[in-house]
Amino acid sequence: MSTTKTYRIAVIPGDGIGKEVTPVAQAALEKAADGVASFTYENFDLGAERYLRDGAILPDEDLERIKGTDAILLGAVGDPRIKAGILERGLLLKLRFSLDQYINLRPSKLYRGVTSPLANPGDIDFVVVREGTEGLYCGAGGAVRRGTPNEVATEVSINTAFGVERVVRYAFQLAMKRKKHVTLVHKKNVLVNAGDMWQRIVDKVGEEFPQVTHDYLHIDATTIFLVSNPSRFDVILTDNLFGDILTDEAGAVVGGVGYSASGNINASNEYPSMFEPIHGSAPDIAGKGIANPTAAVLSSAMLLRHLGFDEAAAKIDRAVEADIAELGSTKRTTEEVGRDILARI
């Protein structure tokens, strides 16, 4: 009789290559957790296709069912026919905000076997801890006299000590398990209200972690260091918008967002956390069976780690690392990469 616990996973394959890479991520999850955990899956038909078909974005009853699961695996969502903002705010951000996923966790690592666009990349291995439920992503803003020469449009960044402190503490805790260095990134010389609050909270929480050093960089300077000296970073701690920007640049620097996964984490476990590759639905290559499932597979590892299965997660990480080192530069189909990685788990 099996004594492994069963977890309910909400699966949102989404659109385009999202639907191609998600099954590979599930297969990796199964194999890595074999003997330690089992999973049941609930598929949710959400994303651009669904929206184009019947206009639904995230029905309340779906959101309620998702709230009852233990974790979410998301593929990718989007279609160029849909106006910017509709699915982002109605689905992706709605999930992040409704499920209070306040930690957006994005590791950046240059794998052996991957060519960085940098001439001398050095060792790159850092994590961006991005706040996920505040800042300019709140949707607080508006417009008057729309379409006239007197139009005024605003966007409001809302930042709370409550929201900042919890992500700051998470970053320091994470740094304790890593190289013990936190870099706060903001633009406190211009955004003086929010920037000053972030800095004060980092200074205060930092005192609880005497072994962790911390420094500060402006967002503009950080984009320089990501190109000129990415090895200097261990844990980058930043707000929602700056995190969005930095993680894409970081993805490029480590040789492509095809190797980058992310977790949208509710660290207090009131709601399920969500794991997804950073890449989009890639309509240009969708349906050809050539999408690289590596980032999706890595998001399964993040999911396992979140549920407490560090060893199973490490199995996936090691398999991916070995696969890339040996075969990273060979042209393979989605199925082939999946098969190769699975064989190593």
Would you tell me which residues interact with ligand IPM (CB under 6 A)?
A: 88, 92-93, 189-190, 220, 244
DSSP of 121-150: ----EEEEEEE-SSEEEEEEEEEESTTSTT
Q: Is 179 annotated as a binding residue?
A: no
From 162, 155, 173, 108, select the one nearest 133 (Cα to Cα).
162
> Within 64-93, which residues bind a copy of itself (CB under 8 A)?
84-85, 88-89, 93
Q: How far is the CB of 37 from ligand IPM (least distance, A)?
A: 27
Least separation in angstroms between residue 244's CB and ligand IPM is: 4
Residue, CB closest to ligand IPM: 88
Beta bridge partners of 10: 42, 72
Tell whether residue 161 is among the known ligand binding residues: no
32's enclosing H/E stretch is helix 17-33
Q: Which residues contact 275 (CB under 8 A, 6 or more apart)?
A: 71, 72, 73, 74, 261, 262, 263, 264, 299, 300, 302, 303, 306
**Strand 261-265, strand 103-109: pairing:** antiparallel
Q: Binding to a copy of itself (CB under 8 A): which residues in 166-225?
A: 187-197, 200, 219-221, 223-224
Q: Please report, as a single letter, which amino acid is at residue 301.
A: A
User: From ligand IPM, a copy of itself, none, which one binds at residue 245 (CB under 5 to 8 Å depending on kind)?
Assistant: a copy of itself
**Member of 56, 152, 176, 343 binding a copy of itself (CB under 8 A):** 152
Q: In the complex, what is the shortest distance from the CB of residue 63 to a copy of itself, in angstroms, rounded to a whole number?
A: 20
Tell whether 158 is in a known binding site.
no
Exactly one of 45, 155, 203, 326 binds a copy of itself (CB under 8 A); which one? 155
- List 76's β-bridge partners, or say none: 14
∠ at Cα 125 (187, 129), nearest 5°?
40
Give dist(CA 50, CA 57) in Å, integer.
Answer: 7
Measured from the CB atom, the residue of 27 and 74 that comes closer to a copy of itself is: 74
Angle between helix 294-306 and 17-33 (nearest 10) = 50
The reply, when asked if residue 282 is annotated as ligand binding, is yes
Active centre residues (catalytic): 137, 187, 220, 244, 248
Binding site membership for Mg(2+): which residues?
Answer: 220, 244, 248
Binding site membership for substrate: which residues?
Answer: 96, 106, 130, 220
**Interface positions with a copy of itself (CB under 8 A):** 84-85, 88-89, 93, 115-120, 136-137, 139, 141-143, 145-162, 165, 187-197, 200, 219-221, 223-224, 226-228, 241, 244-249, 251-253, 257
